[in-house]
Amino acid sequence: MARKQQVNETPAIWYQASACSGCAVSLLNGAAPSVKALLIDQVVPGQHVSLRFQPTVMAGAGEAALQVLDAAQEAQEGYLLVVEGAIPTASDWYGFVGHKPDGSPYGMAERVIGLARSALAVVAVGTCAAYGGMHGAHPNPTGCKGVGEVLREAGVDTPVVNVPGCPPHPDWFTGTVVDILLHGLPGAEAVDAAGRPLRFYGSLIHDLCERRSDFEAHKFARAPGEPGCLYELGCKGPFTHADCPERQFNQGTSWCVKAGGPCQGCTEPTFPDVQCPLYRKIPYDAQPRIVRDPGSGELVAVTKPSQEAGE
C-alpha cells in the first residue's frame, strides 16, 4: 500500500486596497501554471496554498467574508499576505474595509499593517501595491503609497517582495509564489533595488525587444501601429525592467510593442508620473534610474550617476 504523501499547507490572504481588480483578473487568466494548478493541483509537489480570503473570487461577501479575514488575522498562524492596490494614508475614509467594534472605519493602512505583522511574507502584486502606481500619482490627495513604504513607516519588518506591472503578467506572480514555496524568500542577490525578483525583472525591455534592430538602424515609427522602433513615440523600454517581449501576455499572444503601442514603463516605481505623457519621448540623459537611499530606505529616481543616493 502506497504511503500517502504529506502535504504542507501555506495559508494565503489576498487583500485588496485601492485597486481596480485588474491584477486579480490578470492572475485568473494565467495558463502555465493556472490558478487552479497553484491552489488545487499542487503544482509544487507536497505544497498546498490555502487561499483563505480573496474578495474577487470568494463566495462569501459582507460580514461573512470579513469574519474570515478577522479570524485569520487574530489566529496569527503565519500566512502569505498578498496585497493588491495602493494604500491610502491621508484618512481612513479614503479607503476602508469593514468597521471596528466601535463602528469606526477599519482603514486600509491599519488593516494591512495588522495583517503584515502576523504574515510570513508580503507579496505586493501590481505597481499600485508595490509603489503607489496610478492611485499614488500626482497630486495624490488620498496619500496612496506602496505597501513596503507603509510598513517601513509603521516599523513592521516583515519581508516584502514586489511584483509590479499594470497589470503584472500572471507568471510573475505565480512564479514568485512557487519560488517562495520551494526555496523560501528570495535573498538580496535575487531582487533588485526596487524589490523585484531578478528572474522576471532582471532585463530591460529595450534589450529584449523585437524592434531593437530598428532602433540600432535608426528606423523609427512616426505613428502607433507603424513598423519601426517606437522610441520617438515615447517608448519607455530603455529604462523599464521586465521580460514582456519574451513572455508576452494572453498565453504568449502579444504585448504592448508587438501590438503597435510603445512600452509605458508600468513596472517601474516612477510610473505613471515620470512616464507621462505616455507618448512623449524621454531623452536618454533624462531617463530615471532607481536606487535605494541607504539612510531612509526609500526608492529614489536619479538621472545622472553623480546624483545617486549615498554618493
What is the total count of domains within the chain?
Answer: 2
Task: Say whether 169 is catalytic.
Answer: no
In a domain, 109, yes or no: yes
| pTM above threshold 0.75 | yes
Q: Establish whether 144 is a catalytic residue.
A: no
Helices (H), the chain: 22-28, 35-39, 63-75, 108-117, 127-131, 147-153, 170-183, 198-201, 205-208, 212-216, 244-247
Please say which residue of 157, 184, 201 terminates a domain.
Answer: 201
Both 13 and 144 in one domain: the answer is yes
- In a shared domain, residues 29 and 176: yes
Residue 206 appears among annotated catalytic residues: yes
pLDDT band, residue 40 (cuts 50/70/90): low
Q: Nearest Cα to 114, choosing from 61, 76, 63, 66?
A: 76
Is the pLDDT score of 229 beyond 50?
A: yes
Per the residue annotation, which of 135, 169, 206, 241 is the catalytic one?
206
From the list 23, 144, 169, 241, the catalytic residue is: 23
In a domain, 105, yes or no: yes
Q: Does 111 lie in the same domain as 247?
A: no
Of 135, 144, 241, 244, the active-site residue reads 244
Indicate if 44 and 79 belong to the same structural domain: yes
Which residue in the list 135, 166, 169, 241 is annotated as catalytic?
A: 166
Mapping DSSP to helix (H, G, I), strand (E, B) and coil, where does residue 28 land? helix
Examine the fold and report which residue of 168, 201, 234 is the final residue of a domain before the chain moves on: 201
**Per the domain annotation, does 3 fall within a domain?**
no
Domain boundaries, position 263? 203-311
Mean pLDDT of 39-66: 78
Same domain (yes/no): 123, 240? no
276 is catalytic: no
Q: Catalytic one among 135, 144, 169, 229? A: 229
**67 pLDDT more than 80:** yes
Show which of 152, 169, 201 is a domain's final residue: 201
Tell me: cis bond preceding 139? Omega within 30 of 0 counts. Answer: yes
| 156 shares its domain with 25 | yes
164 and 185, same structural domain? yes
Q: Let me know whether 191 and 228 are in one domain.
A: no
pLDDT of residue 265: 96
> Do 66 and 211 reside in the same domain of the chain?
no
245 and 181 in a single domain? The answer is no
Query: For position 251, which CATH number holds?
Result: 4.10.480.10
Average pLDDT value for residue range 100-106: 86
Whether residues 164 and 66 share a domain: the answer is: yes
Per-residue model confidence (pLDDT) at position 7: 57
Q: Is 60 exceeded by the pLDDT of residue 202?
A: yes
Render pLDDT for 149-161 as a digit per residue (tens, 0 to 9). 999 999 999 999 9
Q: Is residue 55 part of a domain?
A: yes
Q: What is the CATH number of the domain that holds 134?
A: 3.40.50.700
Q: Is 5 exposed, middle or buried (0-12, 13-18, 19+ CB in 10 A)?
A: exposed
Q: Report, as an integer, the average pLDDT of 177-201.
A: 90
Q: Among residues of the chain, what percentage have pLDDT more than 70?
A: 91
The answer to whether residue 1 is domain-embedded is: no
pLDDT tens for residues 1-25? 444 455 577 888 999 999 998 999 9
Whether 2 is in a domain gets the answer no
The mean per-residue pLDDT over the stretch 248-273 comes to 94
Q: What is the pLDDT of residue 58?
A: 83
**In which band, very low, low, confident or very high, does the pLDDT at 305 lie, cut at 50, 70 and 90?**
very low
User: Strand, coil or helix: what is 289?
Assistant: strand
Residues 138 and 277 in one domain: no
